[in-house]
């Protein structure tokens, strides 16, 4: 891969986009571009096309999305569907119109059926109903996967979709109303600890099984896809290992040092019973995750403590 190729990272200030930017910079890629949402609203097709006309990127990495946990998805179903469709469709369409040869589309493991056989293979896509608590986001991401597949089939361009499992790490979202389970737990246990080790209430039964991938591993996978021509259009990205939400809570509680009680609110939804990705397809191509969950949570908690009051912006 030419280190001087112009690489546009959509969503470069988010958790995933910033990790990708840091990784590329560490490898001496010298022509990385990005625009904040204030500078470029990816929901507006006219503005996206104008940006591509001026910048003419060689490679596009789509790490931009409206994201959130179960509460956010259930509260705001329409924007989770429509805004994600707008963002990705504008980026994909502008890329094909402006002859971008390589496009990496990032989605989520929630694209797979709620009751898919475990571990989940890429071929299980669209074989049965989705999990209702996040189907709006999932449907948008499925459309993106299919758009990239269609371009690959019709035009022969190297457009590939990477579907990560649950991501966490530096620059995560720790807002309790919109965050995912792992960062939400870190914040809840931390605040309970500093307020006299008060009890921590968590949603659901704690029984669902989940897999977690550190965002730095995800960035490594993106660079691997960037530097190699993968044979297929869709790849899972994960560790291939999972644990129960209850065990995750105990691990985070121990890492944070919280000594209080954990209360499980079984009236709240659990979501999908289990969601473990089969990562053998990308492993056959030559990539595997490296960061152990225990190490990753410690790293993320340290970052949280250092950045509670202000999140630093990525600079190019």
Please identify every residue annotated as catalytic. 137
| CATH fold of the domain at 7-306 | Rossmann fold (3.40.50)
Note the pLDDT tens digit of each residue in 191-201. 999 999 999 99
What's the confidence (pLDDT) of residue 224?
A: 98
Note the helical H segments in 104-210: 135-155, 181-194
What's the confidence (pLDDT) of residue 73?
A: 81
Pairing of strands 166-168, 158-164: unpaired
What residues are designated binding site? 11-17, 106-109, 141, 164-167, 180, 188, 203, 210, 270
What's the confidence (pLDDT) of residue 177?
A: 76
Domain residue extents for the chain: 7-306
What residues are designated binding site for NADP(+)? 11-17, 106-109, 141, 164-167, 180
Q: CB–CB of 78/136 below 8 Å? A: yes
Pairing of strands 158-164, 209-210: unpaired
What residues are designated binding site for substrate? 188, 203, 210, 270
What's the confidence (pLDDT) of residue 176?
A: 81
Give the integer Cα–Cα distance in Å for 301 and 182.
Answer: 10
What's the confidence (pLDDT) of residue 217?
A: 98
Note the pLDDT tens digit of each residue in 38-84. 999 999 999 999 999 999 999 999 999 998 777 778 888 999 999 99
Q: Calculate Rg over the CA atoms of the chain.
A: 19
Give the integer Cα–Cα distance in Å for 316 and 312.
Answer: 13
Pairing of strands 212-214, 102-106: unpaired
pTM strictly above 0.85: yes
Give the residue ranges of the chain where pLDDT is below 50.
Answer: 311-316
- Enumerate residues 6+ apart whose C-beta is below 8 A from 146: none
Phi-psi region of 253 (alpha: psi -120 to 50; beta: other; left: phi over 0): alpha
């Amino acid at each position: 891969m030419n280190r001087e190729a112009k690489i546009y990272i959509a969503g470069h200030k988010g958790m995933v986009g910033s990790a990708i930017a840091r990784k590329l910079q560490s490898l001496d890629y010298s022509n990385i571009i990005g625009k904040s949402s204030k500078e470029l609203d990816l929901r507006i097709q006219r503005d996206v096309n104008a940006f591509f006309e001026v910048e003419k990127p060689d490679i596009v990495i789509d790490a931009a999305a409206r994201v959130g946990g179960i509460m956010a998805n259930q509260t705001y179903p329409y924007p989770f569907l429509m805004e994600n469709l707008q963002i990705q469709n504008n980026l994909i369409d502008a890329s094909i119109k402006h002859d971008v040869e390589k496009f990496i589309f990032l989605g989520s493991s929630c694209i797979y059926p709620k009751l898919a056989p475990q571990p989940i293979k890429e071929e299980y896509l669209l074989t049965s109903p989705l999990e209702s608590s996040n189907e709006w986001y999932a449907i948008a991401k499925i459309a993106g996967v299919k758009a990239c597949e269609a371009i690959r089939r019709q035009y022969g361009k190297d457009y590939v979709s990477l579907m990560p499992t649950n991501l966490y790490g530096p620059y995560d979202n720790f807002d309790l109303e919109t965050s995912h389970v792992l960062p939400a737990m870190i914040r809840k246990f931390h605040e309970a600890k500093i307020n006299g080790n008060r009890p921590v209430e968590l949603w659901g039964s704690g029984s669902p099984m989940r897999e977690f991938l550190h965002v730095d591993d995800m960035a490594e996978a993106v660079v691997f896809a960037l530097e190699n021509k993968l044979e297929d259009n869709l790849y899972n990205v994960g560790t291939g290992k999972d644990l129960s939400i209850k065990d995750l809570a105990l691990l985070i509680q121990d890492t944070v040092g919280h000594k209080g009680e954990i209360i499980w609110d079984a009236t709240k939804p659990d979501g999908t019973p289990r969601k473990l990705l089969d990562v053998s397809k990308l492993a056959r191509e030559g990539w595997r995750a490296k960061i152990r969950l225990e190490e990753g949570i410690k790293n993320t908690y340290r970052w949280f403590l250092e950045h509670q009051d202000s999140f630093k912006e990525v600079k190019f």
